[in-house]
Amino acid sequence: MKKEECFYLGYIIKTVGIEGELAVFIDVDDPESYEVMESVFVDIDGKLVPFFIEEITIKSTKGDALIKMEEVEDVDGARHLCQRDMYLPLEYLPPLPDEQKFYYHDLAGYTVFDRAGEEIGIVREILDYPGNPVFSIVKADQEILIPVADELIIKINKDKKKIVLNPPEGLLDLYL
């Protein structure tokens, strides 16, 4: 499975107990909806490795959970999974209730314009920093970073794969 075919689910925090349980953070809007997942991919040295889940317990609506994976029998086996990212295939994403909503990965490849109609560049990815997601936009091999904030987004046209932004005064001058 390739990372491009998956979405970021969360990360493994630490081991719990001596039987290989793991404390994880599930970084999604509705963690409880993932309580029935049967497997997960773990990023180990850039490769997604599948692990079957023996048991999962969601501890809070904020995403804290405990996972026991098959074939991880003790703390030593669990320890090498700590501080690693978890992924699921894109088909596991729930459908969006509103046509105007989008998943961040959907915006990769969109062309970005300012409110005057000038092209800023192409969205490479959304950098999902906690509390501060950022558009990573590429133009002529230069990366331009613009916050993903409702007050800066004028329009997103899914049909034309076009985003119109109103970046803060002077921000683009730092890059261009």
* 97 located within any domain: no
Listed in sequence order, the DSSP H helices in 8-159 are 75-79
SS3 32: helix
Are residues 62 and 117 both part of a single domain? no
Are residues 109 and 155 both part of a single domain? yes
CATH label of the domain that carries residue 108:
2.30.30.240
| 131 pLDDT tier (thresholds 50, 70, 90) | confident
Are residues 14 and 78 both part of a single domain? yes
- Residues 106, 87, 126, 130, CA torsion sign: positive
* 162 located within any domain: yes
Asked whether the predicted pLDDT for residue 174 surpasses 80, the reply is yes
Are residues 84 and 155 both part of a single domain? no
CATH label of the domain that carries residue 37:
2.40.30.60
Please state, in angstroms and rounded to a whole number, the distance separating the CA atoms of residues 139 and 121.
5
Are residues 115 and 66 both part of a single domain? no
Domain range spanning residue 28?
Answer: 3-91
What is the reported pLDDT for 121? 95
What is the reported pLDDT for 61? 79
* 98 located within any domain: no
The model's pLDDT over 72-130, given as tens digits with 9 standing for 90+, comes to 999 999 999 999 999 999 999 888 877 767 888 889 999 999 999 999 999 999 887 77
The model's pLDDT over 18-76, given as tens digits with 9 standing for 90+, comes to 999 999 999 888 888 889 999 999 999 999 999 999 999 999 878 899 999 999 999 99
What is the reported pLDDT for 23? 97
Q: Which residues contact 125 (CB under 8 A, 6 or more apart)?
A: 104, 105, 108, 136
Number of compact structural domains in the chain: 2
